[in-house]
Amino acid sequence: MTHTTDLNQDLLARAKRVIPGGVNSPVRAFNAVGGVPRFVERAQGAYFWDKNGQRFTDYIGSWGPMILGHGHPQVVATVHAAVDEGFSYGAPTEREVALAEKILALMPSMDMVRLVSSGTEAGMSALRLARGFTGRNKIVKFNGCYHGHADALLVKAGSGLATFGSSSSAGVPADVVKDTIVLEYNDVAQLEEAFAKMGSEIACVIMEPIAGNMNFVRASVEFTRRIRELTQEHGALMIYDEVMTGFRVALGSAQSLYAQQIEGFQPDITVMGKVIGGGMPLAAFGGRREIMEKLSPLGGVYQAGTLSGNPIATACGLKTLELISAPGFHAELHLKTGQLMQGLKAEADAAGIPFSVDWQGGLFGFFFLPELPTHYPQVMTTDQARFNKFFHGMLQQGEYFAPALYEAGFMSAAHSQDDIDRTLEAARAVFKTL
């Protein structure tokens, strides 16, 4: 299959004149892999079509929300009906109450939830709430984890606990990140050292249960358990960022999987996004009642949003959660994702390529490494040149994976066995060229 990119090139040149880099989110620019991004014209099921009318099997699914695939007929009908009723009111609706009730029914760690419009907004608000609840300023995050582009979270690791992180973005003053402590993911000893030195000053630890911006790196059970123990011991809160994993890796999200291995495990605050909006701009954060009641208008922690609980977004999210609540949905999705990952591993092994894979539910990751990494420095030892060649080889075959080695991938219910077989056939040919 030969693809041309002429129309994509023309549109990129046009976009660059009016949009920084020609894109409205950096990873879309293909800077990490080189080449020209595909400008999407339409999508349906497991596929999208670019400006040239060329079809691609979509393994990013809008970076996670499209768990049912694109254009699911029941979701589309529900959204159309909501559009007919009105776009936005700036006033409460029954539908946002129903969505909150549905989320809480699936997430036993949450007694109350606040709806917002983006994962960044939810993460930023959760941090403010944790600081307001504890009366403390310091926060702990982990190197390589992404929680949105709020100033206090755009921090890269220092050389140790004595060297605090510095901003990873221009425009973020040093004073804004001085209370952000950056530790290595899955490093229990470093975590214990941080709490031994600063436990009484730490408001919260924010973590991804599966780090999806390191490609796919699981938090170990020991690491997760120790975070829970240390935060409880020192009066800090544990914030679980499930923007990516929420309702995608399991119906009860990642925390339900860890609760099977850690008795009584529950985070204090959970941040959610992506799947709960079904592709519409919608996110949320929620937690124990005593914490959530610190939010305005009940408490002194301010948070607001004109489009929060948007009636079209909530309609889309409600129908999506209803459909993925069907018995066996996530088990089937996990099996399907495993077929793809195990198949890629087998093809790489046959070609003599160092390759490791992992997956959970509809989330997956692969590395050009002989073993799965456990933290960010290991992730960055991946063979970048080989990944880039793989990415473009698969793209030429009509298979669209994340255009960066440090991004997770996404499977949907719309992907068929034929889709997986075709992807593996393409991979067989591409691996032989690496």
Which positions are annotated as active-site residues?
Answer: 146, 241, 274
Distance between CA 262 and CA 157 in Å, rounded?
Answer: 29
CB 270 within 8 A of CB 255: yes
Distance between CA 214 and CA 201 in Å, rounded?
Answer: 28
In terms of residues, how long is the chain? 434
Q: Which two tokens stand for residue 118?
A: 């983006």
CB 161 within 8 A of CB 195: no
Peptide bond into 108 cis (omega under 30): no
- DSSP conformation class of 45: B
Grouping H, G, I as helix, E, B as strand and the rest as coil, residue 394 is helix
Query: What are all long-range contacts of 350-354, with beta carbons under 8 Å and residues at least 24 apart?
Result: 350/428, 350/431, 351/428, 351/431, 351/432, 351/434, 353/386, 353/431, 353/434, 354/383
Distance between CA 185 and CA 244 in Å, rounded?
Answer: 17
Distance between CA 104 and CA 286 in Å, rounded?
Answer: 9
Which amino acid is located at 384 in the chain? Q
Distance between CA 269 and CA 405 in Å, rounded?
Answer: 30
Q: Which two tokens stand for residue 77?
A: 């009908």
Burial class (CB in 10 A: 0-12, 13-18, 19+), 39: buried
What does each C-alpha distance from 181 to 105, 124, 167 come to in angstroms?
Answer: 34, 16, 11
Q: What contacts 408, CB < 8 A, 6 or more positions away?
A: 210, 212, 213, 215, 216, 244, 363, 364, 365, 402
Which amino acid is located at 263 in the chain? E
Give the residue among 174, 227, 177, 238 at the shortest CA–CA distance from 203.
238
CB 51 within 8 A of CB 36: no
**Antiparallel, parallel or unpaired: β 202-207 and 138-142:** parallel
